[in-house]
Amino acid sequence: MTSPEIPHQQLDQTAPEELQEELWRRMSALDHVRTGASVVSLPETRALHMEPGHAFGPDSAFVRDSTEFAHLHGLLDGSLHLLLPEGEAAEAVAKGWGELHPVAVEGRCPPTLIMLYGPRDEDELETVWDLVRRSHAFAAGQIL
């Protein structure tokens, strides 16, 4: 279950801390990425920002006029928001890996912004990690 409004959070079936930390270790090691605070989320959220010289993706690959393309919520949540090309975002939602962000549902941002549910086991970790790499490639302009 997730909250229907902002802050958009996963409320149950949260990811174990060790899987969240493994995911963050992988995320923070992506090429041309800076880690830091999110431009939109809660203070405990850890965000990925594409280095400006490598942020060649379309505006729909980033959060609100920034270079942020993904963020991992705090340990009590374990979900993450990221941006994917529209078709890939729709596919991830259709497969039950996540859901559209409420602002995307309302039409206030493109339907590229989704929440991925936190990984509860190794298989889910690999699925989430693959989608994070796709988001990174989208932000880098490698896929449109």
Q: How far is CA 120 from the centre of its chain?
A: 16
Q: Count Cα neighbours of 117 within 13 Å in the Cβ-side half-sphere.
A: 19
Note whether residue 129 is domain-resident: yes
Task: Retrieve residue 60's tokens.
Answer: 């729909």
Note whether residue 4 is domain-resident: no
Note whether residue 125 is domain-resident: yes
Note whether residue 24 is domain-resident: yes
Domain span including residue 92: 17-139
Nearest-angstrom CA–CA distance, 16 and 126 = 14
CATH code where residue 29 lies: 3.90.1150.30
Nearest-angstrom CA–CA distance, 85 and 35 = 22
The tens-digit pLDDT sequence of the chain (144 residues) is 988 888 999 999 999 999 999 999 999 999 999 999 999 999 999 999 999 999 999 999 999 999 999 999 999 999 999 999 999 999 999 999 999 999 999 999 999 999 999 999 999 999 999 999 999 999 999 987
Full-model pTM: 0.96
Structural domain count, the chain: 1
Note whether residue 23 is domain-resident: yes
Note whether residue 2 is domain-resident: no
Note whether residue 69 is domain-resident: yes
Note whether residue 92 is domain-resident: yes
